[in-house]
Structure 1
C-alpha cells in the first residue's frame, strides 16, 4: 500500500512541531492537523507541491510503500525504493549530544555531500 509518511521528512528536517510549521506556511488548521498526526488519506497536487517547496524535497520523500503481500516485498517491485527500512534521524536531536570539537569536521562532510564529492 502506498501511503503518506510526513513524519519521516519532518524528522529529517528537524521539525519538532509539524502542526505549527504547517500553519506558519499557510495550511489550514484541519489540513495541518491531519498532516501532523498522520491521519492523512489524500492530498491535492497543489498541497504536495507546496510541501515539497517548503521542505525542499520531492513527492517520493513524502510517500512510503508498505507491501500488501509478502510476495511483493522484493527489490524488483516498482515501488521498492519507497519502502522505508528505517526511521529518519532527527538531525536536531542527533546534534544535541554531538561533541562540539567535531562540529567543524561534520560541517565539512556535509558541504562535501552537498557538492557531490562523496
Structure 2
C-alpha cells in the first residue's frame, strides 16, 4: 500500500509545525490536515508539485510503500524502492550534539557542493 511519509522530510528540514508550513506554502487548511493525518486517498498533482518545490525533494521522497500481508512482490520489483527503512532524522538534534570540528568539516563539504 502506498502512503504519504512526510515526517522524515519535516524533521530533516527542521520544520517543527508542519500544518502551519503546509498552509503557508499554499495548501488549504483542509488539504493540509488531510495530508498530515494520512486521511487523503487522492493526492493531486499540483499538491505533489507544491510539496516538492517547498520541501526541495522529489515525488518518491513523499511516498512510502508497505506490502500488505497477502501481497508478494519479487525482490527486484520497482515498488520496493519506495520502502522506507531509515528512521526519521532530526537534523537539529544531530547538529546540536555533533562536535564543532565535525560541523566545520560538514560546512566545508556543503559549501564545496554548491
**TM-score, normalised on structure 2?**
0.84
**Deviation of the 1:56 alpha carbon:** 0.8
**Deviation of the 1:67 alpha carbon:** 1.1
Q: In the alignment, what sits opposite 1:63? A: 63
- 1:36-92: CA deviation from partner (whole Å, max 9, x where unpaired): 333332221111111111111111000101012376355312211100112221212
Q: How many correspondences in the alignment?
A: 114
Change in CA separation of 1:39 and 1:87 when aligned onto 2, cut-off 3 Å: farther
Unaligned runs of 5+ in 1: none
- RMSD over aligned Cα atoms: 2.1
Change in CA separation of 1:23 and 1:108 when aligned onto 2, cut-off 3 Å: same
Moved >6 Å (runs of 4+): none
**Deviation of the 1:107 alpha carbon:** 1.2
Q: In the alignment, what sits opposite 2:32? A: 32
Distance 2:55 2:64 in 1: 16
Distance 1:8 1:42 in 2: 21
Unaligned runs of 5+ in 2: none
**TM-score, normalised on structure 1?**
0.81
**Deviation of the 1:30 alpha carbon:** 1.0
Change in CA separation of 1:12 and 1:42 when aligned onto 2, cut-off 3 Å: farther
Q: In the alignment, what sits opposite 2:21? A: 21
Distance 1:105 1:64 in 2: 32
Distance 1:71 1:46 in 2: 30
